[in-house]
Amino acid sequence: MKNNKTEGGAIPLQMDPMIPEGMKSSLNPRHRLWRRIVAQRHLQTMALLGVVWMFIFNYIPMYGIIIAFKEFNIIKSISEAPWVGLTHFKEFLADDNFGNVMKNTLGISLIKLFIGFPLPIIFALFLNEIRSIKYKKAIQTISYLPHFLSWVVLGGILATWLADVGIVNHVLMALNVIDQPITYLAEPKHFWTIIITSDIWKELGWSAIIYLAAIAGVSPEMYEAATIDGAGRFQKMWFVTLPSIKSTISILFILAVSGVLNSNFDQILVLRNSLNDSSSNVIDYYVYQTGLLSGRYSYSAAIGLFKSVIALILLLIANQVSKKINDTSLF
């Protein structure tokens, strides 16, 4: 029997049920495409709205990037601002704050990457092993509940807990771990630990959802075969579950690497203060400080563009490495 399907299982346009039988042979490709668009007009309209939104809010504002190469002020328009070339980029690289800003940004982000990235995977693996649906749903709900609270709320909670009269000091003093209260947010040496720990607490359960969805797609026959071969729970996780979701892990890791210069501005803004500035001054906050607070719009735009270029380079590198190692990539 002749196979009427094209490669990949797609049905050719000649067999499209949306087109009447008598007109299929007479329609040229352009007319066929137009008729298909008309037949899918509701779906196409929804897709078009998304494209329009992205064009308005993502592409049109990109015109403003050129102020990074100009000396812009709010009195004159962008087109009237004089060109200065790479002056602002050179100024940022020679800035006294450059070393501290990069150290804080890379330090916080890399620790989050190496500790915060694998934890949701481990959490999802163990959560998947819970046999009781009741307890599994309860743990999952409790774990991703903090994700729905803004950093303004969580920042207030953390500031109260970590104050010198807060619950953390009371517990540690009761256990004789410390002799006197510590004002954690006032000491720079504690800031990184607070930022990383609170970020993991907030996002652990939510980040695990996508891994749980990927695990749900693993064939039960693979687990049955592993059981017959005598594999235990940990062996099944290592030899069955992890290899089955490696493509999902690879994609998310590529995205995480590309965002390594992002330090979660909301979290930093809420928890930082003048006392911990030496450990909390990251690129995102420095852009906010120089751009909105100091009015140096061109300089802050240059810093933001510098960060975006580095992120693009990291994305391309991570994507290429993942393609060679796991044969998985974004493009």
Name every residue whose Cβ is closer than 8 Å to that of residue 189 and which is 6 or more positions away in sequence. Answer: 279
Whether 293 shows a pLDDT value over 50: the answer reads: yes
Work out whether the CA dihedral 147, 152, 153, 159 comes out positive or negative.
positive
pLDDT at residue 6 in the model: 45
pLDDT at residue 3 in the model: 45
The total of other beta-carbon atoms located within 10 Å of residue 311's CB is: 16
- CATH superfamily, region 68-326: MetI-like (1.10.3720.10)
pLDDT at residue 132 in the model: 87
Name every residue whose Cβ is closer than 8 Å to that of residue 160 and which is 6 or more positions away in sequence. Answer: 166, 167
Mean local confidence (pLDDT), 48-77 = 91
Closest CA to 266 of 209, 203, 308: 203
Whether 21 shows a pLDDT value over 60: the answer reads: no
Give the dihedral of Cα atoms 108, 111, 113, 114; nearest 10 deg.
Answer: 170
Whether 11 shows a pLDDT value over 70: the answer reads: no
Question: Phi, psi (5° rounding) for residue 238?
Answer: -80, -40
Whether 194 shows a pLDDT value over 80: the answer reads: yes
Kindly provide the b/e burial profile for residues 55-69, where b requires at least 16 CB atoms within 10 angstroms of the residue's own CB: eeeeeeeeeeebbbb
pLDDT at residue 77 in the model: 87
Q: Where are the domains of the chain?
A: 13-52, 68-326
Whether 244 shows a pLDDT value over 60: the answer reads: yes
Burial classification of residue 104, based on how many CB atoms lie within 10 Å of its CB (0-12 exposed, 13-18 middle, 19 or more buried) = buried
Q: Could you tell me which residue, 24 or 268, shows the higher pLDDT? A: 268
pLDDT at residue 41 in the model: 87
d(CA 27, CA 30): 8
pLDDT above 70: percentage of residues in the chain: 92
Instruction: Quote the longest CA-to-CA distance of the chain.
Output: 89
Which residues share a beta bridge with 83? Answer: 70
Would you place residue 27 in the very low, low, confident or very high pLDDT band (cuts 50, 70, 90)? low
Whether 12 shows a pLDDT value over 80: the answer reads: no
This prediction has a pTM of 0.80
Tell me what the pLDDT averaged over the chain comes to: 87
pLDDT above 90: percentage of residues in the chain: 61
d(CA 106, CA 272): 17
pLDDT at residue 215 in the model: 93
Would you place residue 1 in the very low, low, confident or very high pLDDT band (cuts 50, 70, 90)? very low
When mean pLDDT is compared across 1-10, 76-85, 239-248, 322-331, the lowest value belongs to: 1-10
